[in-house]
Amino acid sequence: MRFHIGNSALLNDSQKAKLREKCPNQINQNDEWVITAQETRSQVKNKELVIKKFKQLLREAFQVPKARKSTKPTISSIEKRLKMKKIKSQTKSLRGKVDY
């Protein structure tokens, strides 16, 4: 299936740019988005699969990722980190020169 991105009246300019950015390997030099399917031997079934694939790719291309909420470490994890830090420093301090 071929979908000409530049001539599409359904997409605005920002959506066209986002589509070109997300799927650069599927867009040819004529600004056509080429989608194929060869899963079955039936041409009709392959066309149906291409249409499903096209809709899914459009949804994925325009989906806005969730913003990550920053969290602070728990009190127990801070204490554990400091405890391990103290143990490591003590181990390393024992590696020094020995006086005879």
Q: What is the pLDDT of residue 9?
A: 87
5 and 30 in contact (C-beta within 8 Å)? no
Domains of the chain by residue range: 2-62
pTM above 0.75, yes or no: no
Contacts of 71 (CB under 8 A, 6+ apart): none
DSSP state of 8: -
Identify the top-confidence range among 30-34, 64-68, 82-86.
82-86
Three-state DSSP class for 27?
A: strand
pLDDT digits (tens, 9 = 90+) for 30-39: 889 899 999 9
| CATH topology assigned to domain 2-62 | Double Stranded RNA Binding Domain (3.30.160)
**Residue 17's CB: how many other CB atoms inside 10 A?**
12
